[in-house]
């Protein structure tokens, strides 16, 4: 069962995903950092919702979603994030 701290972080990520929804896609006119942030939040919003609802999610599914961001946007930010996490 997730802690209150994890639930608060999950709720914040859900809100960030909602705020950045207009910056999703491969053809968006916005700085790349904003686009990457939008895609990270989108990739993890289901896991954030699961955590907020006091359940656990599968880490391997979340890491695969993050890895796909690099293919969508032609960046290496997903790989860099996963590397910092130790994946």
N- to C-terminal Cα separation, the chain = 23
Helix (H, G, I), strand (E, B) or coil at 43: helix
State the pLDDT at residue 87: 77
* Residue 1 in this model has a pLDDT that exceeds 90: no
C-alpha 50, offset from chain centre: 13
Residue 57: Cβ-neighbour burial (10 angstroms; 0-12, 13-18, 19+): middle
State the pLDDT at residue 23: 97
* Residue 70 in this model has a pLDDT that exceeds 90: yes
Helix (H, G, I), strand (E, B) or coil at 24: coil
pLDDT in tens, 6-50: 999 999 999 999 999 999 988 899 999 999 999 999 999 999 999
């Amino acid at each position: 069962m997730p802690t209150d701290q994890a639930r608060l972080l999950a709720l914040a990520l859900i809100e960030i995903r909602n705020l950045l929804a207009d910056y999703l896609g491969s053809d968006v006119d916005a700085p790349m950092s904003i686009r990457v942030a939008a895609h990270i939040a989108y990739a993890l919003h289901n896991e954030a919702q699961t955590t907020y609802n006091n359940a656990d999610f599968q880490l391997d599914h979340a890491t695969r979603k993050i890895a796909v961001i690099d293919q969508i946007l032609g960046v290496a930010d997903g790989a860099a994030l996963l590397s910092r996490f130790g994946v």
